[in-house]
Structure 1
Amino acid sequence: MGQDNTSHSGGPGYDELVPSRYALRVGEIDVMVVSDGIISISAEAMATNADPAVRSAWLHERLQPEVMDWALNEVVVRSGDRTILIDSGLGLEAPSFPKTGRWSSRLEAAGIDLADVTDVVLTHMHFDHVGGLLVDGVQDQLRPDVRIHASAAEAEFWQAPDFSRTAMPGAMTDMIRSAAKRFLAQYGSKLQTFETDAEVAPGVVVTRTGGHTPGHSVVRLASGGDRLTFVGDAVLPHSFEHQEWHNGFEHDPEEAVRVRTRLLRDLAASGEPLLGTHLPFPSICRVAAVGNGYRWVPALWNY
């Protein structure tokens, strides 16, 4: 539509024409999905092992071009006395992506004070998940005792990353390597690593899955009878119908297939909703089994 994404009504505060945050509750846990905008990805990078004709047909059915826009979503969780950021968006690490990098300003607009954050959980250390923490001034706003949770396998991998099984352009690997190196230099002393899983706060558990990166993790929320899983990059827009497609950013494509197939199977069986980093904002959906595959069923917004 080409409209500016800001209202000019003159109302107070950060007044957006298009919402960039969505709040919900999981039992007694408060959850807010925050949009960091969108990133563009080529169809080839989206599914490197797909038959080009099948891939083009999938895009055509969804009225999508060969370079498509993906959402970039992060999550804020409040459980007990803990305020938890799950991932931090792209920040300003890649200014060539002009439609993103709004994470910190949108947190502020949502009333989230970085000084109140007790914990940060990283699903993995790709640049669009740690970039917000690298924006000038963000580290100074965080409390000195903030805890940053990531799997031990993830922290170890980025000490000397191996891109031999990915299919990214060379410039992209340099960008990703640089962001992870900067992140570890700035925040390495605050890392609290785990092997398999860790309870970050009451009802908030981060679990390593591997696949997308060696230490990629998901975050499961549980309170009362309610459940929700933030799947990070384990499930992508095409994953419901084509779990077998390899994404160019996956460091172990075969394991990534096994991880998302298992997640989709379990979520379809339980009926539990999920959130995904790159699913259309606010990305809350359920998984329905259809034949040998799955279908993404968007949740209704609650007002």
Structure 2
Amino acid sequence: MELTRRHALAGAAALAAAPLLPTVSAQAAAPVADKQAPSFYRYKVGDAQVNVISDGVNNFALGDGFVLNVKKDEVNAALEKAFMPKDKMSIQFAPLVINTGGKLVVIDTGNGPAAFAASKGAVGQFIANMTAAGFDPKNVDMVVISHFHGDHVNGLLTADGGPAFPNAEVLVPATEYKYWMDDGEMSRASGERLTGLFKNNRRVFETGLKKKVTPYEWGKDVAPGLLAVESIGHTPGHTSYVLSSGSDKIFIQSDVTNLPALFVTNPGWHLVFDQDPALAEKTRRKVYDMLAADKMRVQGFHYPFPANGYVEKDGNGYRLVPAPWNPVI
């Protein structure tokens, strides 16, 4: 039916009169929900099934030094441009469970049970969400660690300090393991954060796992179809991966960038958590130039859930285009 001016005027009059009509309060059929459903998402890469498992979200006040080479006002402007609240950071965590068809492989393990308790459930959700997705930690064959920051390794242990994946081989980057287990490096460490990382890594890998790990090298498959790729700067042995199956593949970037609205858009910004910020920037630009040129799908540990999409060049930086939600696998 063609919309005429008479129809439009009649509709406007009806809307104007609506507030004069008596209102009837609706009775809720069920109590209001007080929590989200378990957070996991599945997609296929060839014959491999990727399961993105949320470990939660860490919300904290934006400090002056979160981006080392940019003033807080400029960071706030970038947050507001991305429709995020200023003066606040919300960092998400997305470990993976990959079913290769022959092996069940976990990549990174989240913040762990102690962080779950301290945050009142905001982070440390990996095991609960993984279990809700249908995976038993006892059935994991391999746990692959990208680097030794707490939000990636603390989930290796249970609340009582034992192995969270008791039957799994734990694979770690050889360069990363050598650095954090080196007594000389630990003695030269300065600053509360870096010295704390050394202590935490000794707790996880020496006390908890009794050094039962398998170091791996870059440029080789660490699991079926999972190629380890050097992407240093964030840490001395930081590692990304290319998961391939048939003609399909995806780049698993680990922490090449943190919050995309800041560090994908502005690859020259230096994150406080990057151990060598200049090298991290160099790696970031190299990786993102490759992703944009190859139009390769990318999975990011700190991307908004379900944490994957595509990257394109955008001025002096890049733009993350989230992959569309697919209701089927």
Select the residue among 110, 132, 153 that pairs with 2:155. 132
Q: Which amino acid aligns with 2:169?
A: R
**What stretches of structure 2 of length at least 5 have no aligned partner?**
1-31
Residue 183 of structure 1 corresponds to: 204
Q: Structure 1 length normalisation: TM-score?
A: 0.87
Distance verdict in 2 for CA 1:45–1:206, change over 3 Å: farther
Where do 1:210-229 residues align within 5 Å?
Answer: 210-229=232-251
1:70 aligned onto 2:91? yes
Q: CA RMSD in A?
A: 2.2
1:243 is aligned to 267
Once the two structures are TM-superposed, the CA of residue 277 in structure 1 deviates from its matched residue by 1.0
| SS across alignment from 2:34 | coil
Higher strand share: 1
C-alpha distance after superposition, 1:68-125 (max 9, x if no partner): 1111110011113111100000013434434111111111111111121111111111
Q: Tell me which residue corresponds to 1:10.
A: none
Letter in 2 for 1:44: D
Is structure 2 residue 306 aligned with structure 1 residue 276? no
Q: Say whether the 8 Å CA contact 2:219–2:228 is kept in structure 1.
A: yes
CA change 1:103–1:58 in 2 (3 A) is same
Q: Tell me, yes or no, if structure 1 residue 5 matches structure 2 residue 5.
A: no
- Tell me the amino acid that sits aligned with residue 119 of structure 1: M
Q: Are 2:136 and 1:116 equivalent residues in the alignment? A: no
Paired residue for 2:16? none
- The residue number in structure 1 matching 2:70 is 50
Residues 235-288 of structure 1, C-alpha deviations (whole Å, 9 max, x = no match): 222222111111111111111001111111100111111111111000111001
1:28 and 2:50 correspond:
no
- Given the superposition, is the C-alpha separation of residues 106 and 216 from structure 1 closer, same or farther in structure 2, using an over 3 Å criterion? same
Q: Does 1:148 align with 2:170?
A: yes
Kept after mapping to 2: 8 A contact 1:43/1:68: no
State the secondary structure of the residue aligned to 1:233. coil
Q: What is aligned with 2:9? A: none
Aligned residues: 285
TM-score by length of 2: 0.80
Separation of aligned partners in 1, 2:48 and 2:154? 26
Rate the CA distance shift 1:82–1:61 in 2: closer, same or farther, 3 A. Answer: same
Residue of structure 1 in register with 2:313 after alignment:
289
In the TM superposition, what is the alpha-carbon distance from 1:127 to its structure 2 partner? 0.6
* Residue 104 (1) aligns with residue 134 (2): no
Q: How many Å separate the matches in 1 of 2:210 and 2:279? A: 27
Q: Look up the match of 1:252.
A: 276
Contact residue 80 and residue 201 of structure 1 kept, 8 A: no
Q: What residue ranges of structure 1 are gaps of 5+ in the alignment?
A: 7-15
